[in-house]
Amino acid sequence: MGASASSSVTSIGGDSVQAARLSASSSPDQHGIAVREKKKKMTGFATLRKKFIRRRRSSKACDHGRIIRDLVYTWSHLEATALLEEYEALAALKDLHVQAELARPPAATFKQDLSMLYDHKHCSDVDLVYRGACFPVHRAVLSARCPYFRDLLGGCPGYGARICLELRTPHLEVPMFSALLRYLYTGDICPHDATLETNLLRRLGEEFGTPNPLEHDLRYLLESGENADAALIFTSDGDYQRPDSGSSEYGFRPKLELPCHKAILSARSPFFRNLIQRRTRSGEDHTERALHIPTRIVLDESVIPKRYARVLLHAVYLDTVDLSLITRTSGCGNSAGSLGEVQALTHTGRMRPSPLEEAMELYQIGRFLELDILSQGCEDIILECLTLESLPTVLKWGSQPHGSAWVHRQALHYLREEFQPIASSSILHQLDHAHLANVLQSHFLQASELEVLQAVLKWGEHELVRRMEDREPNLLSHTVHSVTRKGIKKRDLSDIELREILSELLPLVRIDHILPPNSEALAQAIRRGLVSTPPSHMIGDERDNLRMNAWIRGGKKNGFFVRPRLFMPYYEEIKSLVEEQMVQEADLVRLRRPRYVADIPDALYMVEEKPRAMGTAGVDVLAAAFPVPDSATMALMLKREQKLRQSPSCQRAISLPLSSRHEINRQVRLRVVREFNLPDTVADLLEVSICYCFLACASNFTGSLR
């Protein structure tokens, strides 16, 4: 794709130069033609993305635009504006919905984790004493970061060395020295350490040396293994015997050993930190130091295959997930875990897992090791691998307990956005009933309602055929008398059984919004008894008025209104139509018919439309079904929610006349709880807390008036 883009740009440039040369010897008319041709090429090949979007719109959106115009051509300007307001409210809500879908807790970076390591002193092996203050530090970090400390610590080998410092730089107070050490750990000077003067920093640089970027020094520690005090060992059996030294008789490290540093492992992963602390309490750490051997962390290869070892360490040290570091040699098949993987892949006809499968497996390893940076990096890789062909696999994996809820949300978003091409391909038949029901409930499904109905019927008929094949009496499929071999004609399908299969899906199709209203697919579905209730425009005498009432709200008496989906071709066409009408009828823009009532919330807009059952103590009885955050976390969540409410996207959604405060608040709360790595059900608890705060404030205000 990149090559195509570059070649297109090159051809544009060549054509432009040639046109400029021809213009010097051509007539004015020819010059105008050349300029128009140049503009045409420039707009046609500005970017590949615009080209694809234009191609998609020319093939489908134009037809949809004509269809929606045929519906509203008899409507007044106010009625078309009311429909546009519905779409604008949905567009603003979709922005908040996408933000909530993308929300996840931020993974700590190596800078943040090393700053916490300096604060909590995990696995410190050297004590620096400066002006009576003791600073437990880590030999590997300071030696890699600072030439001064490399020379100093090199002259004081051994665990637990205590070194008193005498610095040449005058007037360096203890807080300044602590800020200097933190800078070596993080590579950043904290804002509250701005008292470090320029001259002082210059003198410190002359005495200690200017360190490299933190990432550079961490990469050096990873690749060189200098001052390594630990080693990752991968084994498939439980009776691993620890060697007496870290080298083989030829001077090379054992094949399964990867040197690393306990301080960095402890800083990045709670799993490794707890493991190292447990070994220290048991006394194993003292024995290893007495034997002058590194701490050997033995990992079961059936849980963590050794072919992912370098990817794991690369993520620990450098915050990146590089699948090219996966060991793909045949030597990885020696362990039981890897052999099991190879056998499983053999049954599927492949000898090597795809990058998507490797990212899924690495994600679970990151979750097991509590290494968020690895898990989120794998989530990003899975999302990059998401295509029409991989969508069913990603959806099924994401919905599993060991899968990623964040990936599952992105896959559902992809399904909603690409529903049209999916519905016209065999990918539709691979979707689960639950996933199809989920996207059909959405206001943001990108397909016309007629395409939605056709997709549901197509999926149901394929499911019915599959059930018939499972029930066929033949022991061998594809025989002369088998259903699979003979094939099934559409007239052979049982409409009763098909209606049962689609009993939960067809009610999610917004029948009143099917265009054109006299479509053959809708009429046939009604004749077959699949659609029990015909659309409203087929009922009564005022069909045109009823058809309009199904699209725009008209107060409490309008029982036919069904909120339309934000189908972008319809939205863009209605917006264009209203703009044309505004030019013709500018004086009517400020008018609003009273029959179109906005969704204006009352004072208690935070309360659910349907009150939730409460216990006798005033506590939500559903709260016991999910973990309740502590008061400090709840306070932070409430503060975050208030901040999000002030965001431009949220304020824009609230300002629109037909916006629903309840739906807006729901999306904001979902974003908050997902940023705090909590289940979506906690959003209900957050809502109840806000209601209690509001009622308490109202009660206090009423009491003060009395």
| Residue 237: pLDDT band with limits 50, 70, 90 | low
Q: Please classify residue 574 by burial: count the beta carbons closer than 10 Å to its beta carbon, then call 0-12 exposed, 13-18 middle and 19+ buried.
A: buried
Pairing of strands 230-235, 257-260: antiparallel
| Residue 292: pLDDT band with limits 50, 70, 90 | confident
Question: What angle in degrees, to the nearest 10, is found between the helix axes of 372-384 and 309-318?
Answer: 110
| Residue 371: pLDDT band with limits 50, 70, 90 | very high
CA 530 to chain centre: 37
146 and 196 co-located in one domain: yes
Q: Does position 287 have pLDDT exceeding 60, yes or no?
A: yes
Q: Does position 261 have pLDDT exceeding 70, yes or no?
A: yes
198 and 270 co-located in one domain: no
Mean pLDDT across 314-331: 87
Pairing of strands 257-260, 295-300: unpaired
Q: What are phi and psi of 231, to 5 degrees?
A: -150, 135
Query: For residue 127, what are the CA distances in angstroms to 146, 164, 473?
Result: 16, 9, 79
114 and 99 co-located in one domain: no
Mean pLDDT across 509-532: 90
Q: Please classify residue 339 by burial: count the beta carbons closer than 10 Å to its beta carbon, then call 0-12 exposed, 13-18 middle and 19+ buried.
A: middle
Please, what is the average pLDDT of the chain?
78
Answer with the residue of higher pLDDT: 332 or 126.
126
135 and 180 co-located in one domain: yes
Q: Does position 462 have pLDDT exceeding 60, yes or no?
A: yes
Residue 684 within any structural domain of the chain: yes
Interior/surface letters 89-128, b for 16+ CB within 10 angstroms, e for the rest: bbbbbbbbbbbbbebbeebbebbebbbbbbeeebbbbbeb
Residue 78 within any structural domain of the chain: no
Query: For residue 621, what are the CA distances in angstroms to 220, 329, 689, 694?
Result: 55, 55, 14, 20
CA–CA distance, 485 with 467 (Å, rounded to integer): 15
Residue 177 within any structural domain of the chain: yes
Q: What is the pLDDT of residues 639-651, one digit of tens each?
A: 999 999 999 999 9
Q: Does position 172 have pLDDT exceeding 90, yes or no?
A: no
Amino acid at 699: S
Half-sphere exposure of 322 (CA within 13 A, CB side): 14
Strand partners, 71: none
Number of structural domains (the chain) is 3
| Residue 343: pLDDT band with limits 50, 70, 90 | very low
165 and 305 co-located in one domain: no
Q: What is the pLDDT of residues 421-445, one digit of tens each?
A: 999 999 999 999 999 999 999 999 9
Q: Please give the order of strands across the beta sheet that includes 230-235.
A: 257-260, 230-235, 295-300
Written as six digits, the tokens of 61 are 């959106």
| Residue 665: pLDDT band with limits 50, 70, 90 | very high
Question: Domain ends where: 181, 213, 245?
Answer: 213
59: which DSSP letter? I
262 and 139 co-located in one domain: no
Tell me what pLDDT residue 500 has: 94
Q: Please state the length of the chain.
A: 706
CA–CA distance, 237 with 339 (Å, rounded to integer): 13
Residue 683 within any structural domain of the chain: yes
Question: Domain ends where: 366, 385, 404?
Answer: 385
179 and 274 co-located in one domain: no
- Select, from the ranges 28-32, 68-72, 386-390, 614-618, the one with the highest average predicted confidence (pLDDT): 386-390
Asked if residue 512 lies in contact with residue 537, where contact means CB atoms within 8 angstroms, the answer is yes
Answer with the residue of higher pLDDT: 524 or 334.
524
95 and 141 co-located in one domain: no
Residue 147 lies in domain: 110-213
Tell me what pLDDT residue 288 has: 80
Residue 95 within any structural domain of the chain: yes
CA–CA distance, 121 with 263 (Å, rounded to integer): 9
675 and 585 co-located in one domain: yes
Can you tell me which residue has the tokens 């969540």? 637
93 and 123 co-located in one domain: no
For the whole model, what pTM was predicted? 0.79
Tell me what pLDDT residue 407 has: 97
Can you tell me which residue has the tokens 């540093």? 261
Strand partners, 620: 614
Cα–Cα–Cα angle for 615, 619, 623, nearest 5°? 105
CA–CA distance, 653 with 311 (Å, rounded to integer): 43
Q: Does position 255 have pLDDT exceeding 80, yes or no?
A: no
Tell me what pLDDT residue 209 has: 80
Asked if residue 148 lies in contact with residue 207, where contact means CB atoms within 8 angstroms, the answer is yes
Which value, in Å, is the radius of gyration of the alpha carbons in the chain?
33
| Residue 653: pLDDT band with limits 50, 70, 90 | very high
Give the domain CATH number at 318: 3.30.710.10
Asked if residue 535 lies in contact with residue 453, where contact means CB atoms within 8 angstroms, the answer is no
Cα–Cα–Cα angle for 639, 644, 645, nearest 5°? 100
Q: Is the dihedral of CA 223, 228, 230, 236 positive or negative?
A: positive
Cα–Cα–Cα angle for 278, 281, 287, nearest 5°? 105
264 and 206 co-located in one domain: no
Q: Does position 339 have pLDDT exceeding 50, yes or no?
A: no
Residue 494 within any structural domain of the chain: no
Q: Does position 8 have pLDDT exceeding 80, yes or no?
A: no
Tell me what pLDDT residue 41 has: 42
Residue 579 within any structural domain of the chain: yes
- Spell out the residues 6+ positions from residue 511 whose beta carbon is closer than 8 angstroms to its own: 449, 453, 522, 531, 533, 534, 535
Residue 242 within any structural domain of the chain: no
323 and 363 co-located in one domain: yes
Tell me what pLDDT residue 352 has: 78
Answer with the residue of higher pLDDT: 27 or 271.
271
